[in-house]
């Protein structure tokens, strides 16, 4: 019987949504692992829209669910429809959208909060002892999901993001882009991807290893 994995996206594009490479690599890895995947996203406006050619904020609004549908080829559902009992594992790719649309870490730092629907979904998997995979900047949310003592990585253990979540009680480990960190007690898997990756191959290798472990745990 195929494992069923939910993937929460945060839009489409590294600067204001889900990092497309990370999301697609995760989806391909899940498919290769024989998993049945369903994508979800909050049905909300993006924090802002960034011109990915210039890096400048644009004077327009976009919807996180609508933009994430680009990555999911339209096969996506509102996050409100995600039910933990229907799935064996959960994955959250990175990109600035994870820190802007799924939580407000990008603007609030250590004072950040995770969106209530994102937090509810992730905590449901944690409480059910089902594996969760967090990629790139998404592991900042681990301390909100699991509480103090959670083990995760953001790549460089001394970076600002790592210091911020460490102050909240997380144990943040250093990790190369082509590896991942496992919190065996909590079944939490994290990989830094483009937090430290210098190439697409480095990011892909770490994500592929993490996904293979996630599917094995599911």
CA distance 122 to 125: 5
Q: Pairing state of beta strands 132-135 and 36-41?
A: unpaired
The three-class DSSP label of residue 211 is: helix
In the numeric block, the tokens 């924090």 are attached to 47
pTM: 0.97
Nearest by Cα to 96 from 61, 55, 38, 156: 55
| CA angle 131–135–140, rounded 5-degree value | 90
Most distant CA pair in the chain, distance: 47
| Cβ neighbour number for residue 159 with a 10 Å cutoff | 15
Six-digit token string for 16: 């204001």
Would you call 103 a catalytic residue per the annotation?
A: no
Every domain of the chain and the residues it spans: 4-217
**Residues 4-217, CATH architecture:** 3-Layer(aba) Sandwich (3.40)
- Tens digit of each residue's pLDDT, the chain (218 residues): 789 999 999 999 999 999 999 999 999 999 999 999 999 999 999 999 999 999 999 999 999 999 999 999 999 999 999 999 999 999 999 999 999 999 999 999 999 999 999 999 999 999 999 999 999 999 999 999 999 999 999 999 999 999 999 999 999 999 999 999 999 999 999 999 999 999 999 999 999 999 999 999 99
The radius of gyration of the chain from alpha carbons, rounded to an integer in Å, stands at 15
The three-class DSSP label of residue 13 is: coil
Do 71 and 39 touch, CB atoms closer than 8 A? yes
Q: From the candidates 39, 103, 136, 175, which is the catalytic residue?
A: 136
């Amino acid at each position: 019987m195929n494992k069923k994995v939910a993937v929460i996206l945060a839009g489409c594009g590294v600067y204001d949504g889900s990092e497309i490479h990370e999301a697609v690599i995760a989806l391909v890895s899940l498919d290769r692992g024989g998993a049945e995947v369903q994508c979800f996203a909050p049905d909300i406006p993006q924090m802002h829209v960034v011109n990915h050619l210039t890096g400048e904020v644009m004077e327009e609004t976009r919807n996180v669910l609508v933009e994430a549908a680009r990555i999911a080829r339209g096969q996506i559902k509102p996050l409100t429809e995600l039910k933990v009992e229907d799935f064996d594992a959960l994955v959250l790719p990175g990109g600035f959208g994870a820190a802007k649309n799924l939580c407000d870490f990008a603007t609030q730092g250590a004072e950040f909060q995770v969106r209530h629907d994102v937090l509810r979904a992730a905590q449901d998997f944690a409480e059910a002892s089902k594996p969760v995979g967090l990629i790139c900047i998404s592991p900042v949310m681990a301390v909100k999901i699991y509480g103090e003592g959670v083990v995760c990585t953001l790549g460089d253990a001394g970076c600002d993001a790592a210091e911020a979540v460490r102050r909240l009680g997380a144990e943040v480990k250093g990790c190369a882009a082509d590896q991942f960190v496992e919190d065996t007690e909590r079944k939490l898997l994290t990989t830094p991807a483009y937090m430290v990756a210098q190439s697409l191959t480095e990011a892909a290798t770490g994500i592929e290893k993490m996904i293979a472990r996630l599917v094995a745990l599911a």
